Amino acid sequence: MDFQSLEKLTAEKYKKHASRTFNYGTAGFRTKADDLETVLFRMGVLAVVRSKAMKAHIGMMITASHNPACDNGVKIVDPRGEMMAVAWEEHATVLANAEDLQLVASVQQLLQQENINQQQPAIVVVGRDTRPSSDVLHAAAVAGVRAVGGQVVECGVVTTPILHYRVVCANDGGSYGTPTNEGYSKKLADAFLKLQGTGGSQSRYSSELQFDGANGVGGCQMSIMAPSLAAALTITQYNDGKGDGVLNYKCGADHVKTTQSWPGGVPATAGTRCVSVDGDADRVIYSFLDSNGAFHLLDGDRIATLIAGYLKQLLTRAQVSLKLGLIQTAYANGASTQYINGTLGVPVGCAKTGVKFLHHMALDYDIGVYFEANGHGTVLFSDAAKKSIREAAAAGNSVAERLCSVIDVINETVGDAISDMLLVEVILKEQDWSVEDWNKQYTDLPNRLVKVLVADRSVISTTNAERSCVTPAALQPAIDNLLRSTEFATANARAFCRPSGTEDVVRVYAEASTRELADSLSTKVSQLVFDHAGGVGARPK
Smallest Cα–Cα separation from 409: which of 310, 298, 332, 339? 310
Instruction: Show binding-site residues for substrate.
Output: 372-374, 498-502, 507
Which regions of 37-107 does DSSP assign to beta strands (E)? 58-62, 71-77
Angle at 537 between CA 74 and CA 521, to 5 degrees: 90
For the chain, the straight-line distance linking the first and the last C-alpha, in angstroms and rounded, comes to 57
> Which secondary structure element, helix H or strand E, spans residue 235, and what is its range?
strand 234-238
Nearest Cα residue to 317 out of 398, 380, 396, 390: 398
Alpha-carbon gap, residue 86 to 71, rounded angstroms: 24
Sorted by sequence, the CB contacts under 8 Å of residue 170 that are 6+ apart come out as 57, 123, 125, 153, 179
Helix, strand, coil tally for the chain in percent (to 5)? 45, 20, 40
Q: How many CB atoms lie within 10 A of CB 404?
A: 17
Q: Which residues are annotated as a binding site?
A: 65, 278, 280, 282, 372-374, 498-502, 507
Rounded CA-CA distance 108/151 in Å is: 19
In angstroms, the CA 291 to CA 294 distance is 7
Say how many C-beta atoms besides its own lie within 10 A of residue 347's C-beta.
15
Cite the annotated binding site for Mg(2+) by residue number.
65, 278, 280, 282
Which residues does the annotation mark as catalytic? 65
Please give the angle made by the CA atoms of 214, 219 and 220, to the nearest 5 degrees. 140
The β-bridge partners of 500 are: none
Q: Are 123 and 169 in contact (CB under 8 A)?
A: no
Give the CA distances from residue 407 to residues 79, 355, 404, 424, in Å, rounded to whole numbers and listed in that order. 20, 20, 5, 13
Question: How far does Cα 59 stand from its chain's mean position?
Answer: 16
